[in-house]
Structure formats: structure tokens, C-alpha cells
Copies of this chain bind each other. A is one copy, B any other.
Amino acid sequence: MENNLINHNRFMGEAIKEAQKALEKDEVPVGAVVVCNGQVIARAHNLTETLNDPTAHAEMQVITSAAAYLGGKYLNQCTLYVTLEPCVMCAGALNWAQLGTLVFGASDPKRGYTLHENLLHPKTLIISGIQKEEAQSKLTNFFKSKR
């Protein structure tokens, strides 16, 4: 059910709403949701500054939330939508969770997991570029405002 473009756009829209919440807290604007059986079961945005915690990326928080919701450590039946390509830490976490499908928006040529090989679980499907302009423009505007 999740595997069509209308749904990908809709759920990435939810992740972008989360990124907007991060922006309003002066955080690097990245948002994520986890979808299972066509429903959002977890949502979060980057809180590294607010929590003074380098591990508080949107993805880490939604993995924890989704696993708690499902009552199990594995997200192999889930799709995670995130506005920016995950970093190494988050890719490592997604590997442990055996994520079903990863959908991300903008690429991260400086810190993205694709700078390294084979960080995700071999069974994880990957779809990139969904609403990347919207995701990227939030990031670009944020970093411009910091200069």
C-alpha cells in the first residue's frame, strides 16, 4: 500500500512537517516518520541542540518510538520517511532494526551514509529524492541564516 508515489509524497509531507517543527526550534531542520500498514506510528524531528544530545537525530527517535509502539526491535514491516539522507549513526541503527523500506528526500554529500558501502541491512529497500527540493530548501535557508 505504501509503495506508490502518492503515498510517498503524502508521508514525506508528514516528515517535512516535522522538519518545520525543528526549524521553529532553531534546530537543523530534519524530520522523520515511520509508517506501518499505511499508518504513521512514530514521528520526530531533530533535537540535538534542544536536548544537548548528539544522538537525538529524527531517525534515532522514530526508531525508538516505533519499536516501543510495535513491542519489538524489528521494523522489517515498516517504511521510514526522512527529509535528509541518514548519517552513519542512523544507518547503523536502521540496520539493527532491519528496516523494510527507507525513503529519503535530499541527499547529504558531506555526512550521508552512502559515502560508505553496505551500512544498511541487505534487505532494506531504498527510495531517494522524494520531495527533495522542499527538504533541501529548508536546510539551505537554515544554514544561510546562520552565516
| Residues on A facing B (Cβ under 8 Å) | 48-49, 51-56, 60, 63-64, 67-68, 71-74, 87-93, 95-97, 116-119
Can you give 28 A-B contacts (C-beta < 8 A)? A48-B73, A49-B73, A51-B68, A52-B68, A52-B71, A52-B73, A53-B63, A53-B67, A53-B73, A54-B67, A54-B96, A55-B55, A55-B64, A55-B96, A56-B64, A87-B92, A88-B91, A88-B92, A88-B95, A88-B119, A89-B90, A89-B93, A89-B95, A89-B96, A90-B92, A92-B92, A116-B117, A116-B118
The A contact surface, by secondary structure, is loop
Contact of A116 among B56, B87, B116 (CB under 8 A): B116
- Asked if A68 and B93 sit within 8 Å, CB to CB, the answer is no
Q: Nearest chain-B residue to A59 (Cβ)?
A: B55
Q: Nearest chain-B residue to A89 (Cβ)?
A: B92
- Asked if B52 and A93 sit within 8 Å, CB to CB, the answer is no
